[in-house]
Amino acid sequence: MTVVIGLTGGIASGKSTVSTMLQELGFVIIDADMIARKVVEPGEIAYRQIVEAFGESILLETKEIDRVKLGGIIFHNEDKRKLLNSIVHPAVRKAMIDEKEKYIINGEQLIVLDIPLLFESKLTHLVNKALLIYVNFETQLNRLMKRNDLSEEEARARISSQMPLKDKCKLADEVIDNNGTLEKTRQQLHNLLNKWGIQVRNTDF
């Protein structure tokens, strides 16, 4: 039987690191951010709906959507942002479900849905287990400042725009504490896979 895991976290929490670990082990990763980019490519239904809603002025010469221009429109206008989300989110959900079903039919033992806004978008119904990658606030702040070369004020603003990780802990089925070393994180992941009865083919893990 296939186990479907919803992998989530917060900015600079290490979700991508754990996603990479799982991918290196040969497990299927369905990345919501990558799908969100695909569904708005020229020719896609969501692309046509966005152009119809926002006009051709948001297009580049290549006919691709100018993300900077569209971002500038929705950033200061909640109604426009909701309109965009009402087009993109259903398209992403459908694509993720279609891909998930394809892998279930193929008999994959583990499918990972990498969804940054798993709880905020109320998408836990798509998964069997919600796995949160957690770090404390100070670790998150320091890693974000270092990674993105941000001031403390800028980093705090970005973190505060998201649901606090401590609140997400209450919603998750399982939590990996990523405050320590990569090896400690890897061991926690290994323990979880064992708990779920998932066979790891890579014995070097």
**pLDDT tens digits for range 81-112:** 999 999 999 999 999 999 999 999 999 999 99
pTM for the model stands at 0.89
- Stretch 137-141: mean pLDDT, rounded? 97
Domains of the chain: 1-28+111-194 (3.40.50.300), 35-100 (no CATH)
Q: How far apart are CA 162 and CA 157, in angstroms?
A: 9
The answer to whether the CB of 103 falls within 8 A of the CB of 109 is: no
Q: Is 147 exposed, middle or buried (0-12, 13-18, 19+ CB in 10 A)?
A: exposed
Q: How far apart are CA 135 and CA 138, in angstroms?
A: 8
**Res 204 pLDDT > 90:** no
Torsion sign over Cα 190, 195, 199, 203: positive
